[in-house]
Structure 1
Amino acid sequence: MFKQKHRSKFLFSLVGILLALLWLSPFYLMLVNAFKSNFEIFNSVLAFPETFMFDNFKQAFIDLDFINALTNSLIISVGSILLIIVFSSMAAYALSRNKSRLSGVIFLVFVAAMLIPFQSVMIPLISIFGRIDMLNTYGLLFMYLGFGSSLSIFLYHGAVKGIPVSLDEAAMIDGASRWTIFWKIIFPMLKPITITVMILNVIWIWNDYLLPSLVLSQEYATIPLRMFYFFGQYTKQWHLALAGLTIAIIPVIVIYFFAQRHIIKGVADGAVK
């Protein structure tokens, strides 16, 4: 019995290690090849560089106009996340505390919206926003709010359901308004799920290429859009592209590193009871 249990534990650990190596393999390829020349990359993708070319990062930094691209990415990502958190948390609170049939239908509509792929609404969306002259940063923030709200409301809704209604009633007896109850009592208790919503949304917004490419001009290009600079019709500068990609993912990794302890708790709080 002991040997069987020990063997099962060993196999489980082995599978976990293999999956971890498989997940880390793209990061290995990115980091290793970021220090190579183009010739070395085409010669052997898996091998370590013969000479570490740190100039790749310097040149990628210049070619990307990194400070400007980083600023644009930060404005769009931070602005979108703030809008998603504010509006999704308030909507989830209202839908959770309102027990009417209409509230349930609205919540189901938000959940069902997660199944609609962006590509199916891409052309009419861009056409409508073009007519009202909103193909700019502000229009992009509004689009991200729409696309990010469904999952965020779903997570917030489950978390709010776990907070007793008696807290609302006690605050109302003391004379607090609904606005005060939410921002002073309910929202602080949603910190784990708020961090989870932030992480889940910042990853896809920060790395998104398709939507910004349809909306933004070159002046306001984000980092993923500027990465296209390294891929011309006849030349592909993989060494600079991988160096630029390494620089670009650092902010997301730093945010995830500091927020990771809240993510599991947040997902558990946001699960359907």
Structure 2
Amino acid sequence: MENKYTGKTFIVEILAILLGLLFLVPFYYVISNSLKPFAEILTNTSALPKVFQFENYVNAFEKLNYLKVFSNSLIITVASNVVLVVFCSMAAYMLVRTKKKISNIIFMMFVAAMIIPFQSIMIPLIKTAGTFGLLNSIWGLVIMYLGFGSGMTIFLYHGFIKGIPKELEEAAIIDGCSRFGVFWRIVFPLLKPITVTIVILNSLWIWNDFLLPSLVLQNPELRTVPLATFFFFGQYTKQWDLALAALILGIIPLLIFFFSMQRHIIKGITSGSIK
């Protein structure tokens, strides 16, 4: 039976296009105003730039010390993703395969931790971090991201691992593979679709996070891209032209990462549906 193109379909498509354009409005304001002189931003915010001022990006790049803050953000994001994927995948695997009541209790504790607001624990967190010497440390921040990201990451891995046939692991054990080897050689490669999804979600969160790094990283040499961008806003001045250009410079790496990983997501979904 052929699907006919009806008036209802046309209306739905128009509404979808309008909704898409509505979501693109903030991007238009950021991009267009990042190419204007400061005075033009104040006087004519909505219009396109009269003259495209690419010097904003050059000045923002220099004042941000972009290569330094970019490397800080990259190290934090990559390291946090690695520890989250390694530890949380193993934890989720053991919680799924260990059929004991304590496993369900631990899993529910991780899930419950997802609903605790960060603001309610940030003061005791910083005091504890100071006691253990984790402040002004990139690796201290990575440890905190492991704690805060474990709930969602274990939750996603837990649901995916339950769909993996246990017979694959039993066959590997019969062939002489250890429990550790079973996980890394058999189970973990099958987790690629959900691992890609987890890495993307955690990267968006960690790269764009402002509050936790602002509390932990007081040393200017350790600033991330969001922290460095914040310093365009002083007590008496707000450098909107440079700040908006800095926002674009901070977004570009994430866009490149997302589009480069997109094909892996689609491939993982299609291979999973065939299985």
Q: Do these two structures clear the TM 0.5 threshold for a shared fold by scoring above it?
A: yes
Report the equivalent of 2:49.
49
1 CA distance for matches of 2:268 and 2:166?
20
* Identity between Structure 1 and Structure 2 (%): 54
Contact 1:193 1:265 in 2 (8 A): no
2 CA distance for matches of 1:264 and 1:22?
26
Report the equivalent of 2:142.
141
Report the equivalent of 1:244.
246
Report the equivalent of 1:228.
230
2 CA distance for matches of 1:18 and 1:268?
29
Contact 1:126 1:214 in 2 (8 A): yes
Deviation at 1:23, TM superposition (A): 1.5
Q: Which amino acid aligns with 1:198?
A: V
1:259 to 1:152, Cα distance in 2 relative to 1, 3 A: same
Q: Which amino acid aligns with 2:242?
A: L
Q: Deviations over 1:164-201 (max 9, x none)?
A: 00011000000101111111111111111001000000
Contact 1:56 1:243 in 2 (8 A): yes
Q: Deviations over 1:86-128 (max 9, x none)?
A: 1111111111111211111111111111111111110000011
Report the equivalent of 1:72.
72
Report the equivalent of 1:254.
256
1 CA distance for matches of 2:157 and 2:15?
33
Return 19-28 or 209-218, whichever deviates more: 19-28
Contact 1:159 1:269 in 2 (8 A): no
Report whether the alignment pairs 1:214 with 2:210: no
Deviation at 1:7, TM superposition (A): 2.4
Q: Which amino acid aligns with 2:216?
A: V
Contact 1:110 1:150 in 2 (8 A): yes
Deviation at 1:10, TM superposition (A): 1.8
Report the equivalent of 1:198.
199
Q: How many aligned positions are there?
A: 269
Report the equivalent of 2:151.
150
Q: Which amino acid aligns with 1:211?
A: L
1 CA distance for matches of 2:39 and 2:127?
44
Contact 1:95 1:104 in 2 (8 A): yes
Q: Which amino acid aligns with 2:16?
A: G
Deviation at 1:256, TM superposition (A): 0.5
Deviation at 1:15, TM superposition (A): 2.2
TM-score (norm 1): 0.94
2 CA distance for matches of 1:17 and 1:262?
26
1:192 aligned counterpart, secondary structure: helix
1:180 to 1:70, Cα distance in 2 relative to 1, 3 A: same
1:84 to 1:267, Cα distance in 2 relative to 1, 3 A: farther
1 CA distance for matches of 2:205 and 2:193?
19
Deviation at 1:134, TM superposition (A): 1.1
Deviation at 1:264, TM superposition (A): 6.4
2 CA distance for matches of 1:269 and 1:88?
23
Q: Which amino acid aligns with 2:243?
A: A
Q: Deviations over 1:72-97 (max 9, x none)?
A: 00111100010111111111111111
How well do the aligned residues superpose, as a CA RMSD in angstroms?
2.0
Contact 1:77 1:205 in 2 (8 A): yes
Report whether the alignment pairs 1:18 with 2:18: yes
1 CA distance for matches of 2:268 and 2:77?
20
Report the equivalent of 1:100.
100
1:268 to 1:45, Cα distance in 2 relative to 1, 3 A: farther
Report the equivalent of 1:163.
164
Deviation at 1:159, TM superposition (A): 0.8
TM-score (norm 2): 0.93
1:199 to 1:212, Cα distance in 2 relative to 1, 3 A: same
